[in-house]
Every structure is written in C-alpha cells, then in structure tokens.
Amino acid sequence: MSKNSQFVKFDKVDKSYDGKVLVVKDLNLDIAEGEFITMLGPSGSGKTTCLMMLAGFETPTNGEIYLDSNPISNIPPHKRGIGMVFQNYALFPHMTVYENLAFPLNVRKVPKDEIDKKVDKALSMVSLTGFENRMPGQLSGGQQQRVAVARALVFDPAVVLMDEPLGALDKNLRESMQYEIKHIHESIGVTVVYVTHDQGEALTMSNRIAVFNDGKVQQLSSPDKLYEEPVNSFVAEFIGENNTFQGEVSDISNGKCKVKLKEGEIVANPINVKSTGDKTTVSIRPERALINPSQKMDNNHKGKIEEVIYHGDHTRVRLNVLGNSEFILKVPNSSQNLDIKLGNIINISWDSADARALDPK
Amino acid sequence: MSNETKQILTTDGIPLEVSLKKAEKKNKIKAFLLVAPLLLFLIITYIFPIGDMLFRSVDDRMVTNMLPKTYKAMEKWDGKDLPPEEVFEAFYIDYKLLVEQKTFGKLATQLNYEKNGFKSILKKLKRKMKKFENENYKEQIMAVHKRWANVEYWRAIKRRAPDITYAKYLKAMDMFENEDGNISQVSEDRRVHRVLWLRTLEVAFFVTVFCFLMAYPIAHLLATLPMKYSNLLMICVLLPFWTSLLVRTASWMILLQQQGIVNDFFVWIGLVANDNRPEMMYNKTGTYVAMTQILLPFMVLPLYSVMKTISPSLMRAGKSLGGTPFVAFWKIYFPLTIPGIGAGCLLVFILAIGYYITPALVGGASGTLISNQIAFHMKSTLDWSFASAMGLMLLTGVLVVYWVYNKLVGVDNIKLG
C-alpha cells in the first residue's frame, strides 16, 4: 500500500471572517499520509483558522479542502472522522475518563466489549491505565492532556488535529509530552496536523513545518532545512536566533554577492536578491560565526565584545560588528579560553554560504 | 509499639492543641461579633415570625382561657351523658365574667366554629342569666334553650379543651374532626381549599415548565452571542425585572382583556370573530401568561450564569469526536447546564407557589391561588391561625420540593449565578 502524498490537500483556500480582510490567502498545502506536520506562526497568522477549516468548524470562503481525495467543505464536523485535541483539552467535565474515551465509540455504535478493549489500549498508550474512573477535574494538567490525546486517537481517525495542546503545561512537562506525542505518532502512524506558536516544539516534533505569517505559508520544509535555509527574512527571524545586516547588493557573481553595509562590506549567499542595487537583509545564525577559526573563511571582521552572558553549556557573547551592536555569538564552553572579556576586540569569521541575503525587512 | 501518640508540646510546655485553641479563640469571638448583628436580625425577622406562625396555627388556648373553671370541672366528666351540676355552675361563673368584660362575643364565634347554633343560645343565655338564682344552675341553663340540654353541645365545648389543635390544618385540607373524633371530609359544596392547593401546584408547575422552555434558548443565546448583542439582550431580559410588579401586571391586563390589544390583533388577522373574543384574563390563562413573563428572569439568570462557564470547545469536541449536533447537545451541553436548570426551576417554582398579587389581579375566580386565600383570611376574616396554618403548609411544600431536589440533583450543584 503506497502512502498518499496528498492525503490532506488545501486547494487555493481563502478565508475571511468579515468580508474585508483575508485571514488565509490562497493556501495550497499537501499533507502526506502518516506525516506529522506543524503549522507554526505568530498569533493571528491564520494557522488556527486553517485547522478549524480542516476540522469543519469554519468553512473556506473560497477554494476546497480534500481529505483522501474527497472534498470535505460540505461535510459537517461529526462526519469527517477527524480527531482533535483542543488547547484547553475540552474533556467533558461530567464524564469519567472512561466515559470521555468511550464517547466517540458510543456515537459510532461500537459494541461494548470492543469499546472496553479500545479504551484500555488508548489509555495504556498514554500510560494512564487505572485512571478509568477518575473525573477530569481530579487529574493534573499533564494527565488531562494525555486523556485528550487518547480520546482523539481512540476511534482510529485518519487525521488528528492538535491545536496548541501543550500551551497550558509547564516547561518540563511540555518537553516530555512533546516526546510522548512524537512517539505515539511514530508507533501508530496517524497523520497529525499540529498547530503551535512555539518554534522549539515545532522543530522537535515535526516531519515538516509550515511557517505561517499574514495568512500565507512562508515556507514549508523539514525542520533542519527551515532552520538552516530559511527562504525569507520572516522565517529566518521567526525560527531560531539570527544576526542580521541591512544593506544593498553591490555585486552578484558566481553564486555569491557582495552586500554593502553602512560600515563595510560582506560576502553573502544570494537567496532573494536578483541584481545589483537590491536592498537586502543578510541573516547569519549565531553558531555559524566563529572566533579565530582554523580554516579559512571569506568573511573576516573585527568585533568588540559588549556583553558576556554565561549559559551553562555555552556562553553568549554580544559584539559590535560592522556597526551592528546586536551581533550574537554562541561560544561552546568546551572551547579553549578565547580571551572573551568585556571590551576586547576579537576576530570573527563566517562562510559566505551561511550568510543568506534575503528580502529586506 | 505503644498505642499512645506522643503529645506535642510548644516551647512553653503547653500542649500544642491547647495553645492552638487559645490562639484561635480570640479570632472566633471576633468573627462571631461581626456576624452577631446579622444573626440577631435573622432571628427577629425570620426565625421568630416563622416560629410565631407555627405557634399560632396550632394554638387553641383562647376558649380554654375564657372558660377556665368549666374545663376544670369537665375533667371528671366522661362525656357520655349530660355533664353534672358542677360543670354547669362553673360555666355560669365563667360566662358571667365574660359578659361583664364584654368579651363573650369571641367565645360565641369560637364555639360556633366548633358547632353551629352556639351563637344564638349563648345570646339567649346572656339575656336570661340576669334573673338566675344562685342554686341549681343545670336546670336553669337547660331551661334557657333546649340545645343546652343537648349533650352534643357540651361535647363540643369539651373538644376545645386541649391547648393545641390541628383543626386548622384539617380545615385547610377541607376536612374536620366530627363529634366522634373521626376525621372526615366536609360536604362537597364546601370543599374550596383542596381545589386551590391543586391549582396552586398545577400553576406553579406549569409556570416553571413554561419558564424553562422559554428561558433555555434565551440563556443560550445570551451566553453565546458576541458581547455587544448579548448586553442588549440582557437589558431586554432585565428591564421587566426592574419594572414594578404592579405595572407589569397592569400592562398584562391591558393586553389580555377582551377589548385588549391581543384580542384586537387576533380579530384583525381574522383568527377570531369580533363577537367571539376569547377570554384570556380573569382565568387561569391570564395567570399563566402574566406569571411566566414575570418569573422568566429568575430562570434566565441562573441558566445564563451556568452556560457562560461552558467552554464552546466542549461542543466542538463532541462534534469532532463524531457526535451529531443533537448528541453533542444532549450528552454534553445539557448535562452541564443541569445545575442552572435546577437553580432556575427551584427558584421559579418556589416563587410561583406563593405568588399573590398577579393571580389576584388577573386570575379572576378560576385563577386565584392558595396565597390569595391566605391573604383573604389575614385581611377579611381575621382568622390568623388559619392563615398561619396554610402558610406553614405552603412552606412545608417548598421544603419538600427542596428535599426532593436535593435527592435528585444535590443542592451543592445549584448555581444561582
């Protein structure tokens, strides 16, 4: 059985709530069967609206959504067979954990002994066996979250939607739940569409990430590509840390470009610039710039250390480089003493391939 | 292992428990003093009147106090034949005193409640008594009227001997204790109260049902509409609430009367003929319509406050898990609103069961309720003990409803907002 690479398909979907502003603009998105895809973006970027359209609580203003090649815009939510985990869990407070899990099975008229089996299985999957008779109010936040996940999976839906499910948990719990959800996804192979505004969450969990901004998908790619090769300055800015230089392209040749800054000039990798004279934002990841590197690199500059912050495993160093006083360096603590002291002037270098010349801000 | 748990001492050597109590005592006194005025107020305005009402409804010392010597003499009388001379003598002395104090009228009224015909023979006795000789009262009294020689009348007096009576309660149920001490029903044409009780329950029940049916969608709308519309709707709900009860009832009278606006409208759209306008007032219909409208906010508000707390994502979860909108409503939304339904129904039912002004104004003869009867006895017949008895029965009814509700739903589930 080959997996359908267009299991969920958004086809030219527009959504407007008030007829004036488009919340989602011309969205085209294919989600493969069994994939874990995350919609990542700041609040108001349209990601939750997309999820709600997929779940059936909102209808597209224009365009169509396909689930396994069937258009679903006119199918009410209860007939779509899509599991959903809500932001605040949405467990039914008057039902026990067992009844919560049995609800989707009961409405599907599953026989009683089979319900028992499925509920057992789902609860053991989230390691909550023995909690059948608890009320949701008697569970901790993390446990409620697991129940919500189990409930969304118990009726074997083809797709599970998760709308910022870990938003209400504290940091440690959130991290362990991330792994747990990831493992559940890997073990049962269900298609997951996950919405979050937490980039760390998106990077650790997903097969692919769709970065939303302003109602549009800015970039859709795997976590590593997204981080290493952002296609525009929004993605570069939104995912991870980022050092930027604003400037103007003074020369493009051989897959490299020279960018003239207010003070000095750097060599960069032209991504979103076409010709000389284009304004651009050059983005460099903090860990890609090195102090006194052993190998030769094509950008070598001097920077003055303005701030040193100890972070345990690494030290963050803020430099003033080429007029940018917000230039951040991450220095691993294992490295030799590199004379990192406030006020020192040091040599830093980076490869032009890691300096991506993107669209101007 | 020893069974004794070791007593924990403070650093001063005093047992911890003792010093804790000491430390808390001051706070407890302070707290009590703070609530003391309210407690006093409650006792004076609530507990005392109810206690007084309870006492009045069973108090039967009026006759006993008026005829102290008679009852003392009657203690030995077995009630089979006419009482002995001492009883007649004692009755003569008691009655003479009442005549002198000019309070014999009350006695006549009270004894007449017990047995018809007392009034006239007491009056006659009063006239003849002036010429009585100081001997042989039995014969002299019996000579006044032949009823005085009838043992039934003496038994009637004896029946009033106990200090406490439940006769008023029997009367409120259209029953009475006859001469033999058996409880039986009053004749059919005099049974007025039982109809009223049943009607009161019926009206209260249906008003509660109507209120519920109307308030549920309104409250749901209020809880789900965007703020600016829901505020407007809330004002529409509350505006009548802030209007005087009399004004609202009067406006229903204007609307519902035979030449009123509603009837005019029906005639205009051709629903009814002009010469055949339905009576919508001075009967039960009027009572239902006006009371439902007046009590509606009491249902809407608790429902609204409960619905407001139900997260919309619950319904969504229900639907996304495969429940049809109806199943999601019935299995998820509705059970969660039960605390509000309970509070609203209890409130409306309790208010409706004691409703007074509206039924009095729009109810007419077939739409009045037991509370109107209570008011009638408070104001017109001045039979306060009877009114108290009915009031207490009403109170008991409410407590029973409360108890049943507690058994079914649990009072701690009530949410009044």
Cβ distance of B322 and A94 shorter than 8 Å: no
Q: Give the nearest chain A residue to B313 (CA atoms).
A: A90
CB contacts, 8 Å: A84 with chain B: 316-317, 320-321
User: For position A335, what pLDDT does the model report?
Assistant: 61
Cβ distance of B317 and A84 shorter than 8 Å: yes
Chain B residues with a Cβ under 8 Å from any Cβ in chain A = 311, 313-314, 316-325, 327-328, 331-332, 335-336
- Tell me the two tokens of residue B179: 């001469």
Of B322, B331, B336, the CB nearest to A78: B322
User: For position A323, what pLDDT does the model report?
Assistant: 83
User: Which residues make Cβ contacts (< 8 Å) with residue B412, sequence separation at least 6?
Assistant: none
Reply yes or no on whether the pLDDT at B179 is more than 80.
no
Same domain assignment for residues A183 and A330:
no
Secondary structure (3-state) at B175: strand
Look at residues A187, A210, A233 and tell me which one is the last residue of a structural domain: A233
Structure confidence at residue A337 as a pLDDT band (50, 70, 90)? low
Q: Give the nearest chain A residue to B338 (CA atoms).
A: A94
Residue type, B48: F
Cβ distance of A55 and B320 shorter than 8 Å: yes
User: What is the pairing mode between strands A159-163 and A191-196?
Assistant: parallel
Same domain assignment for residues A316 and A271:
yes
- The CA distance from B323 to the nearest CA of chain A, in Å, is 6
Reply yes or no on whether the pLDDT at B143 is more than 50.
yes
What gap in Å lies between CA B221 and CA A165, rounded to an integer? 29
Q: Residues B193-413: name the CATH superfamily.
A: MetI-like (1.10.3720.10)
Q: What is the DSSP letter of A231?
A: S
Q: Give the nearest chain B residue to A93 (CA atoms).
A: B336
Where residue A189 falls (left for φ over 0; alpha for ψ -120 to 50; beta otherwise) is: left
pLDDT tens readout for residues A93-131: 999 999 999 999 999 999 999 999 999 999 998 888 889
- The CA distance from B285 to the nearest CA of chain A, in Å, is 39
Same domain assignment for residues A134 and A68:
yes
Average pLDDT for chain B = 85
How many domains does chain A contain in total?
2
Q: Angle at CA A268, nearest 5°, toward A262 and A270?
A: 110
- CATH number, position A272: 2.40.50.100
Same domain assignment for residues A184 and A70:
yes
| CB count in 10 Å sphere of residue A135 | 15
What gap in Å lies between CA B242 and CA B245, rounded to an integer? 9
User: For position A336, what pLDDT does the model report?
Assistant: 64
Same domain assignment for residues A27 and A142:
yes
User: For position A112, what pLDDT does the model report?
Assistant: 92
Nearest Cα neighbor of B321 from A332, A312, A46, A150 is: A150
What gap in Å lies between CA A126 and CA B106, rounded to an integer? 83
pLDDT tens readout for residues A55-84: 999 889 999 999 988 899 889 999 888 999
User: What is the pairing mode between strands A191-196 and A208-213?
Assistant: unpaired
Q: Average pLDDT in the B195-218 region?
A: 92
Average pLDDT for chain A = 87
User: For position A96, what pLDDT does the model report?
Assistant: 93
Residue A332 contacts B where some CB pair is shorter than 8 Å: no
Residue A90 contacts B where some CB pair is shorter than 8 Å: yes
Residue A57 contacts B where some CB pair is shorter than 8 Å: yes
Cβ distance of A155 and B320 shorter than 8 Å: no
Between B178 and B309, the more confident residue is B309
| Inter-helix orientation angle B85-101/B118-129, to 10° | 80
Count chain A–chain B contacts defined by CB atoms under 8 A.
68
- The CA distance from A87 to the nearest CA of chain B, in Å, is 9
Structure confidence at residue B279 as a pLDDT band (50, 70, 90)? confident
Please state, in angstroms and as integers, the Cα–Cα distance from residue A223 to each residue in A44, A145, A160, A323, B388, following that order. Answer: 22, 25, 20, 32, 81
CB contacts, 8 Å: B331 with chain A: 103
Is residue A2 in a domain?
A: no
| Residue A233 and residue A359 in contact, taking contact as beta carbons nearer than 8 Å | yes
Cβ distance of A86 and B317 shorter than 8 Å: yes
Q: What is the DSSP letter of B47?
A: I
- Tell me the two tokens of residue B344: 């609203």
CB contacts, 8 Å: A76 with chain B: 319, 325
User: For position A91, what pLDDT does the model report?
Assistant: 92
Same domain assignment for residues A212 and A269:
no
User: Which residues make Cβ contacts (< 8 Å) with residue B336, sequence separation at least 6?
Assistant: A93, A94, B306, B310, B314
What gap in Å lies between CA B244 and CA B46, rounded to an integer? 25
Structure confidence at residue A269 as a pLDDT band (50, 70, 90)? confident
Same domain assignment for residues A289 and A339:
yes
Reply yes or no on whether the pLDDT at B417 is more than 60.
no
Nearest Cα neighbor of B351 from B298, B290, B417, B310 is: B298
Out of A137-141, A200-204, A338-342, least confident range: A338-342
Q: Give the nearest chain B residue to A159 (CA atoms).
A: B320
Helices (H), chain A: 47-55, 97-107, 112-125, 141-153, 171-188, 199-205, 223-228, 233-238
- The CA distance from B307 to the nearest CA of chain A, in Å, is 14
- Tell me the two tokens of residue A32: 């493969």
Residue A17 contacts B where some CB pair is shorter than 8 Å: no
Out of A10-19, B75-84, B311-320, least confident range: B75-84
What gap in Å lies between CA A47 and CA A39, rounded to an integer? 6
Secondary structure (3-state) at A208: strand
What gap in Å lies between CA A280 and CA A270, rounded to an integer? 9
Q: Give the nearest chain A residue to B311 (CA atoms).
A: A90
CB contacts, 8 Å: B332 with chain A: 92
Same domain assignment for residues A62 and A210:
yes
Between B416 and B87, the more confident residue is B87
- The CA distance from A116 to the nearest CA of chain B, in Å, is 17
Residue A108 contacts B where some CB pair is shorter than 8 Å: yes
- The CA distance from A2 to the nearest CA of chain B, in Å, is 27
Nearest Cα neighbor of A292 from A340, A243, A259 is: A340
b/e per residue B164-195 (b: at least 16 CB within 10 A)? ebebbbbbbbbbbbeeeeeeeebeeeeeebee
- The CA distance from B306 to the nearest CA of chain A, in Å, is 14
| Residue A56 and residue A133 in contact, taking contact as beta carbons nearer than 8 Å | no
pLDDT tens readout for residues B227-237: 889 899 889 88
Same domain assignment for residues A25 and A174:
yes
The domain in which residue A308 lies consists of 241-358
User: For position B206, what pLDDT does the model report?
Assistant: 94
What gap in Å lies between CA B82 and CA B84, rounded to an integer? 7
Secondary structure (3-state) at A119: helix
Residue A86 contacts B where some CB pair is shorter than 8 Å: yes
Cβ distance of B317 and A77 shorter than 8 Å: no
Nearest Cα neighbor of B71 from B99, B93, B90 is: B90
Is residue A312 in a domain?
A: yes
- The CA distance from B296 to the nearest CA of chain A, in Å, is 27
- The CA distance from A213 to the nearest CA of chain B, in Å, is 25
CB contacts, 8 Å: A56 with chain B: 319-320
| CB count in 10 Å sphere of residue B75 | 9
Domain definitions of chain B by residue range: 1-58, 61-163, 193-413
Residue A353 contacts B where some CB pair is shorter than 8 Å: no
CB contacts, 8 Å: A93 with chain B: 336
pLDDT tens readout for residues B116-135: 888 888 888 888 888 888 87
pLDDT tens readout for residues A155-175: 989 899 999 888 878 888 888
- The CA distance from B350 to the nearest CA of chain A, in Å, is 28
CB contacts, 8 Å: B336 with chain A: 93-94
Q: What is the ipTM of this complex?
A: 0.80
Q: Average pLDDT in the A189-209 region?
A: 90
Cβ distance of A92 and B313 shorter than 8 Å: no
Structure confidence at residue B326 as a pLDDT band (50, 70, 90)? very high
- The CA distance from B313 to the nearest CA of chain A, in Å, is 6
Cβ distance of B314 and A92 shorter than 8 Å: yes
Q: Average pLDDT in the A227-233 region?
A: 87
CB contacts, 8 Å: B342 with chain A: none
| Residue B331 and residue B323 in contact, taking contact as beta carbons nearer than 8 Å | yes
Reply yes or no on whether the pLDDT at B75 is more than 90.
no
User: For position B1, what pLDDT does the model report?
Assistant: 45
Cβ distance of B313 and A76 shorter than 8 Å: no
Cβ distance of A103 and B324 shorter than 8 Å: no
CB contacts, 8 Å: A91 with chain B: 317
Cβ distance of A87 and B320 shorter than 8 Å: no
User: For position B4, what pLDDT does the model report?
Assistant: 54
Nearest Cα neighbor of B138 from B89, B210, B102 is: B89
DSSP codes of every residue in B194-228: HHHHHHHHHHHHHHHHHHHHHHHHHHHHHHHS-HH
pLDDT tens readout for residues B161-176: 777 888 888 888 888 8
pLDDT tens readout for residues A300-326: 888 888 888 888 888 888 988 888 888
User: For position B260, what pLDDT does the model report?
Assistant: 86
| Residue A161 and residue A82 in contact, taking contact as beta carbons nearer than 8 Å | yes
Pick among A48, A51, A57 to test the B interface (most B CBs inside 10 A): A57
Out of A84-93, B41-50, B114-123, B210-219, least confident range: B114-123
Q: Average pLDDT in the B246-264 region?
A: 88
Of A56, A84, A90, the CB nearest to B311: A90
Reply yes or no on whether the pLDDT at A1 is more than 60.
no
- The CA distance from A81 to the nearest CA of chain B, in Å, is 7
Is residue A290 in a domain?
A: yes
- Tell me the two tokens of residue B316: 């969504």
- Tell me the two tokens of residue A127: 């390691």
Same domain assignment for residues A12 and A148:
yes
Same domain assignment for residues A222 and A263:
no
Pick among A86, A96, A151, A159 to test the B interface (most B CBs inside 10 A): A86
Cβ distance of B321 and A104 shorter than 8 Å: yes
- CATH number, position A123: 3.40.50.300
Is residue A3 in a domain?
A: no
Sheet holding A314-321, edge to edge: A290-291, A345-350, A299-310, A314-321, A324-332
